[in-house]
Structure 1
Amino acid sequence: MTSFSNNGARTSDSDRRLIILTEGHTEPVTGKTATCVVRYRPEQVVALLDSTQAGRTTQELLSVGGDIPIVASLDDAPLANALMLGIAPSGGRIPPAWRKIILTAINRGMDVISGLHDFLCNDPEFANAAALKGVHLIDVRKNNERDVASRLNIREECLRVHTVGQDCSVGKMLVALELSNAMKARDISSKFVATGQTGIMVEGDGCPIDCVVSDFLSGAIEKQILEHQHHDVLFIEGQGSISHPRYSAVTLGLLHGCLPQAMILCYEVGRKAVYGMDYMPLKSLVELREVYETMANLMVPSRVIGVAMNSRKVSAEEAEKERERVRQELGLPVCDVIRHGPEDLLDPIQAMLPQTVAS
């Protein structure tokens, strides 16, 4: 993490030592911001703050981070110099019970980093306290995007791969990150394009697509494409799902703005209903592949070339059975990029690159 460029601040964080606030939410879904920062930036994390889980480790509760401790209060993490809000709840609101902890951190001279829709800098109590202490309130989602898409100067030799989902919170960001990192390991120039708060916190740049005025959404992601298309491959983080009643608008705007030539369809094994709406059954992978390809092809020739399964809730044996079932159903390579590694998805992506790059 080197900077958060979309909130107007260029923040060097080479010396940042984080305590990540997850009070009452130290689990992989609501706490996905904490989980991913611990996974990809563990050297910056001193501890997680959750009084309900104090004494345990992140490895126990999040399956990442080794012996990074979970503590009960700021007093238990004296080396921390910044507080990060580590949750990504529906609606993006700051839990009222967290206000006291945030104010305590500010009064101790700690920067506070948030990716929520409730902006710290717009809260008079937080802003006044921060001004008195000379600390920074960093709102990762804050942006001033005002450009519409133009579809000009797009370099077709740069392969754009977009992770799309059966639902929200199925691992689209993680898949894009893992594929980008693995492509770099093959000595191919690759860039992860972050489109949400957690991805921006991990990568250090990007655009918070779900907080951009709708007219400018496609233009905002197009700006990211233009900025980074000197790479051979861009892996663009997906948001929401085309079939989610709450988030389909941002999904479609992002899809049309990033103009992917290839898509990876992501889903969680065992999930039956829309996240946050248990009364609504999920659309099938077969149906969603057709819808994503139809929508993408309105703008550029595109197809789903692989499936990323999130199998964290099932055994290895169950995951293998599910993997084979989806392979047969869709006729595509399928893997869990954490459990199986990303190679099965990398090969068809690399095959789409110009021969001079792929070899």
Structure 2
Amino acid sequence: MDLRGYFETPVPATVLAEGEFGTTEGKTANGIVTSSEVFDTRVVVDSRHAGCRPADVLESRDAPDVPIVTSVETALAKAPEVEVLVIGVAPAGGGLPESWVDDIEAAIRAGCDVVSGLHVFLSEDEHWTDLADRHGTRLIDVRKPPGDDDLRVGDGSIDDVSADVVLTLGTDCAVGKRTTTYERYRAARDAGYDAGWVATGQTGLMIGSHEGTVIDRVPADFTPGVVEDMVTAVGEAHDIVIVKGQASLTHQTYSGVTLSVLHGCWPDAVVIADEPGRRTRTHFDAFEVSGIETEARLVEALSDAEVAAVSTWGDSETEAARLDLSVANVFEEDGPRALLSAVRDVLAAPTASNGPPESGA
């Protein structure tokens, strides 16, 4: 899925982040507000932070100065030009909270399309499809997996992709893989490279990846093939393809999808995202984090890729001193550029046809 194809971007949007704006559970809404190339956020709905400003809630100077309000009705009054409601939270349990129904209905009646990251699909519910039909709006469920006709097992056709492929993996979930991928993509474009990127989760799709699928909704046998198709499509249009991975190869719960992404995109280089202070896994305190060294060893044992760098949340100099790898903090001003430089060194200097000269990056 490429959401850029649905809209004349950036499209003015209301972001529904009820109760979770600024939290980990609201990471999709947070990313849309600060980074999306598809949606131009004009107002945020979150009654918990109504009256605040996104820059304060997100502690980010990149956040736009837009209002946070209590309801979609208020949002429509504040920003009548909005064309789409983006649901930026997927509540625990996967359902649609009853308290959100009025907000979504109000958006549709006002002529807004709805882009949903919910686990339930609005486009398969008669109530929502009838309402959308009456008001001439679209329901776009980004978690909906590819249809059966688009599923296949991986066949190694990724070897025919001439573009360089760079994958972001991690030592755990929620260690900054999506941020690392996106910021490295932006650094590459700023440096003059013809780069595109592939998302494997809903946040990346809503920010504006060139291709994406919520990969945990794809049947296991077909995951490498779906990734292969996405990377191939982006590689046909760009010289560098940056892929956002999932979880980690040592994660007892999610390593299956991690390995499928690694094998599906068969990268030339890998960047590993890490939070150095983390000792146990997010949401799984019984599982210990195995660490960068183990993760890097497995990446290079299970693929032909070379680990180019570590994207850390910590002090890059401290981490570099203990690791035999390039290290940068992607949240620091020069971090994305440093990661790009490390990847460039692994891929070798680009030719005139696919990027700037050595000094340009």
The question of a shared fold, defined as TM-score above 0.5 by the shorter chain, is answered with yes
Deviation at 1:15, TM superposition (A): 6.9
Deviation at 1:86, TM superposition (A): 0.8
The equivalent residue for 1:70 is: 68
SS at structure 2 position matched to 1:187:
coil
Following superposition of structure 1 onto structure 2, how do residues 260-339 of structure 1 map, counting pairs within 5 Å? 260-295=267-302, 297=303, 301-310=304-313, 319-320=314-315, 323-339=316-332
Aligned residue among 244, 256, 260 for 1:253 = 260
SS at structure 1 position matched to 2:299:
helix
The equivalent residue for 2:103 is: 101
In structure 2, how many angstroms separate the alpha carbons of the residues matched to 1:290 and 1:52? Answer: 44
Task: Give the TM-score normalised by the residue count of structure 1.
Answer: 0.87
In structure 2, how many angstroms separate the alpha carbons of the residues matched to 1:293 and 1:94? Answer: 42
Tell me the alpha carbon deviations over residues 113-172 of structure 1, each in whole angstroms, 9 at most, x when there is no partner: 112321111223222222222211111122223122221363464211100011112221
In structure 1, how many angstroms separate the alpha carbons of the residues matched to 2:309 and 2:96? Answer: 36
After alignment, is 35-44 or 196-205 more displaced? 35-44
Deviation at 1:331, TM superposition (A): 1.4
The equivalent residue for 2:239 is: 232
Check whether the contact 2:32–2:203 (CA below 8 A) recurs between aligned residues: yes
Tell me the alpha carbon deviations over residues 76-107 of structure 1, each in whole angstroms, 9 at most, x when there is no partner: 22222321111255665433432332223223
Q: Report whether the alignment pairs 1:37 with 2:57.
A: no
Aligned AA for 1:262? A
Aligned residue among 237, 246, 250 for 1:243 = 250
Does the C-alpha gap of structure 1 residues 242 and 88 become closer, same or farther in structure 2, counting only changes over 3 Å?
Answer: farther
In structure 2, how many angstroms separate the alpha carbons of the residues matched to 1:240 and 1:90? Answer: 19
Check whether the contact 1:147–1:216 (CA below 8 A) recurs between aligned residues: yes
Does the C-alpha gap of structure 1 residues 356 and 59 become closer, same or farther in structure 2, counting only changes over 3 Å?
Answer: same
Q: Share of identical aligned residues, percent? A: 32
Does the C-alpha gap of structure 1 residues 273 and 238 become closer, same or farther in structure 2, counting only changes over 3 Å?
Answer: same
Following superposition of structure 1 onto structure 2, how do residues 90-129 of structure 1 map, counting pairs within 5 Å? 92-129=94-131
Deviation at 1:350, TM superposition (A): 1.5
Check whether the contact 2:197–2:234 (CA below 8 A) recurs between aligned residues: no
Does the C-alpha gap of structure 1 residues 117 and 247 become closer, same or farther in structure 2, counting only changes over 3 Å?
Answer: farther
Does the C-alpha gap of structure 1 residues 69 and 124 become closer, same or farther in structure 2, counting only changes over 3 Å?
Answer: same
Following superposition of structure 1 onto structure 2, how do residues 47-196 of structure 1 map, counting pairs within 5 Å? 47-62=43-58, 63=60, 64-78=62-76, 79=80, 80-88=82-90, 92-142=94-144, 143-144=146-147, 145-152=150-157, 154-155=159-160, 157-196=162-201
SS at structure 2 position matched to 1:227:
helix
Alignment root-mean-square deviation, CA: 2.4
**Runs of 5+ unmatched residues, structure 1:** 311-318
SS at structure 2 position matched to 1:68:
coil
Check whether the contact 1:159–1:353 (CA below 8 A) recurs between aligned residues: no
Check whether the contact 2:163–2:240 (CA below 8 A) recurs between aligned residues: yes
Deviation at 1:16, TM superposition (A): 2.9
In structure 1, how many angstroms separate the alpha carbons of the residues matched to 2:318 and 2:93? Answer: 35
Deviation at 1:28, TM superposition (A): 4.3
Tell me the alpha carbon deviations over residues 32-85 of structure 1, each in whole angstroms, 9 at most, x when there is no partner: 111211222387111110011100011111124142221111222222232111
The equivalent residue for 1:212 is: 218
Check whether the contact 2:247–2:255 (CA below 8 A) recurs between aligned residues: yes
Does the C-alpha gap of structure 1 residues 94 and 241 become closer, same or farther in structure 2, counting only changes over 3 Å?
Answer: farther
After alignment, is 143-152 or 216-225 more displaced? 143-152
Task: Give the TM-score normalised by the residue count of structure 2.
Answer: 0.86
In structure 1, how many angstroms separate the alpha carbons of the residues matched to 2:16 and 2:31? Answer: 14
After alignment, is 101-110 or 326-335 more displaced? 101-110
After alignment, is 164-173 or 281-290 more displaced? 281-290
Aligned residue among 339, 342, 350 for 1:348 = 342
SS at structure 2 position matched to 1:87:
coil
After alignment, is 228-237 or 101-110 more displaced? 101-110
Does the C-alpha gap of structure 1 residues 253 and 11 become closer, same or farther in structure 2, counting only changes over 3 Å?
Answer: same
